[in-house]
């Protein structure tokens, strides 16, 4: 694992990293920052006493506090890793304590709303560079994190227009050292791209699992029993954190509704093909989508192993 991430840096990139919210993403950042010597000190703030206790037990940070404002004292990199809906309150609380020249970032799955929520509370003397590591699992909490979570995954930076180039470059370096491929784009564009690649697929999974559950008769027996089919993969996605995903949909409303409109039209077209026995239409679509799957595997974002690369239980 250490090999995949490369050796630790001789000199840390940052003197003090403050991580606010230390669940799956925050704790993975803490782990990789420690492993790669990306920051000399790591300070964690989390609202939850249980999470703070686990962060201490796992020795993920040099200092753990309940107070976000306290955590940012002397930090030259602050990464907010709480659910998106908490970002405005956190920004308001840390604003007065931020050191001049500090980089303030986040990991939210939505970018436009994060900028609107945080920017007004941040002082002019900090560099605000929102980010989204496109990496995760359906697990939550500090025990679920791991140092290689970001390895080979994209991290999208959405610096506002006119952002300080040196600060953007430094945050870019941080994520590259964490193993990510880093790309920069506008916040609105990010939200549209993620609506199609992540948010709407999650909504579809939540919906199909909910529909199956509503068919109570089936759920009692067959759904669980026969869930080795495609349904099982939907249940994995639909097990994702309810708070995080509620906030994603409330905060990326416009892009999600736009993509959902297109999706509904295409679903109606599929319905028509099935009704009218248009086998060629179905075959052509499925051939096109199979090619997309192949190109995702070829780009290294997925494994070609059958069963989504799940481990053989006999191994």
Interaction site with ligand NAP (CB under 6 A):
20-26, 45-48, 51, 68, 81-84, 86, 89-90, 107-109, 133, 136, 140-141, 241, 244
Smallest separation, CB 255 to ligand NAP (Å) = 15
Task: Name the residue nearer to ligand NAP (CB basis): 278 or 302.
Answer: 302
Task: Name the residue nearer to ligand NAP (CB basis): 38 or 109.
Answer: 109
Alpha carbon separation from 264 to 198, 234, 254 (Å, rounded): 16, 18, 15
In degrees to the nearest 10, what's the CA dihedral of 157, 163, 164, 168? 0
Q: Mapped to the 3 state alphabet, what secondary structure does 83-151 carry?
A: CHHHHHHHHHHHHHHCCCCCEEEECCCCCHHHHHHHHHHCCCCCEECCEEECCCCCCCCHHHCCCCCCC
Task: Name the residue nearer to ligand NAP (CB basis): 47 or 196.
Answer: 47
Smallest separation, CB 27 to ligand NAP (Å) = 8
**What angle is formed at CA 160 by the lines to CA 154 and CA 165, rounded to 5 degrees?**
80
Closest CA to 192 of 128, 279, 257: 257
Alpha carbon separation from 313 to 266, 274, 310 (Å, rounded): 38, 37, 9
Smallest separation, CB 259 to ligand NAP (Å) = 18
Task: Name the residue nearer to ligand NAP (CB basis): 133 or 179.
Answer: 133
Task: Name the residue nearer to ligand NAP (CB basis): 42 or 81.
Answer: 81
Smallest separation, CB 80 to ligand NAP (Å) = 8
Smallest separation, CB 254 to ligand NAP (Å) = 17
């Amino acid at each position: 694992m250490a090999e995949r991430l490369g050796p630790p840096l001789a000199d840390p990139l940052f003197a003090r990293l403050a991580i606010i919210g230390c669940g799956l993403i925050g704790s993975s950042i803490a782990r990789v920052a420690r492993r790669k010597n990306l920051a000399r000190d790591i300070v964690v703030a989390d609202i939850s006493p249980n999470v703070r206790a686990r962060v201490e037990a796992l020795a993920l940070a040099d200092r753990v506090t309940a107070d976000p404002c306290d955590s940012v004292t002397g930090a030259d990199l602050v990464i907010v890793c709480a659910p998106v809906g908490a970002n405005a309150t956190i920004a308001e609380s840390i604003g007065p304590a931020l050191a001049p020249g500090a980089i303030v970032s986040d990991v939210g799955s939505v970018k436009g709303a994060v900028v609107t929520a945080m920017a007004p509370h941040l002082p002019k003397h900090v560099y605000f560079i929102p980010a989204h590591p496109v990496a995760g699992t359906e697990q939550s909490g500090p025990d679920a994190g791991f140092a290689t979570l970001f390895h080979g995954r994209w991290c999208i930076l959405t610096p506002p227009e006119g952002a300080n180039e040196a600060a953007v470059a430094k945050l870019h370096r941080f994520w590259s050292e964490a193993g990510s491929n880093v790309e920069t784009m506008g916040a609105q564009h990010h939200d549209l791209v993620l609506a199609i690649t992540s948010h709407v697929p999650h909504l579809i999974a939540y919906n199909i699992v909910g529909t199956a559950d509503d068919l109570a008769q089936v759920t009692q027996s067959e759904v669980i029993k026969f869930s080795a089919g495609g349904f099982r993969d939907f249940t994995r996605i639909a097990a994702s954190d309810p708070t995080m995903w509620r906030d994603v949909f409330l905060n990326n409303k416009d892009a999600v509704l736009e993509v959902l409109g297109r999706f509904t039209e295409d679903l109606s077209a599929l319905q028509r093909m099935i009704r009218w026995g248009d086998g060629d239409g179905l075959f052509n679509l499925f051939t096109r989508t199979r090619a997309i799957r192949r190109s995702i595997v070829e780009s290294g974002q997925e494994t070609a192993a059958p069963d989504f690369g799940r481990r053989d239980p006999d191994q």
